[in-house]
Amino acid sequence: MKGGTYILKCALFIIAQAVIWNCCNFTQYLTVTFLPAIILGMPVRQRPVLSMAIAFAAGLAADFLCGAPLGLSSAALVPAALVRRGTIRLVFGNEILVARREELSANRQGWMKMAMATAMLTMLFLAVYIAIDSAGTRPLWMDAVKFAASAAVSIPLSLPIADTLCTDADSRWK
């Protein structure tokens, strides 16, 4: 059941991301994204190659729905999916991957750890996305301002989304 609800939630969040990119273009110095939260919310024992394939498809879908250059989000989301297991191991410990057989949850592992993992993946995504988007045509200070503003808005927005995707449906009824 978790797989079906995860896919449905993912699809809704990708559509929401496309709506935000289409309708809420506040300034050129801000890119609001929560696509890395979708990658963090995948099941913990997901293989890295499958995670990267899902990230590529999610990024391609988001680009297609918002009319962005196809592959821009995918190129930034695939590295986030590649380092996802390492981030989980670094922030939450190796036990969650090996012994406990449980999924990520802010209530179980703590909000600070969830915020740190979300921030790490979001900052990696933004760094690659902004670097590819600018393609060396904008000054470095403009990219740095865009990165800082985007991270300041995207990380707090991504935290509840990551928790929504990570929450195990069965744990609420125990």
Average pLDDT over residues 127-147: 92
* pLDDT tier for residue 83 given thresholds of 50, 70 and 90: very high
User: What is the CATH code of the structural domain delimited by 2-168?
Assistant: 1.10.1760
Query: The pTM is what?
Result: 0.87
- At 64, the pLDDT band (50, 70, 90 cuts) reads very high
Residue 148: per-residue pLDDT:
95
170 against 87, higher pLDDT:
87
Average pLDDT over residues 67-72: 84
Q: Where are the domains positioned within the chain?
A: 2-168
How far is 155 from 37, CA to CA, in rounded Å?
9
Alpha helices (H) along the chain: 2-23, 35-40, 48-66, 72-82, 84-92, 95-98, 106-109, 111-134, 140-166
pLDDT in tens, 13-42: 999 998 888 887 777 888 889 899 999 888
Instruction: Say if CB 102 and CB 168 are below 8 A apart.
Output: yes
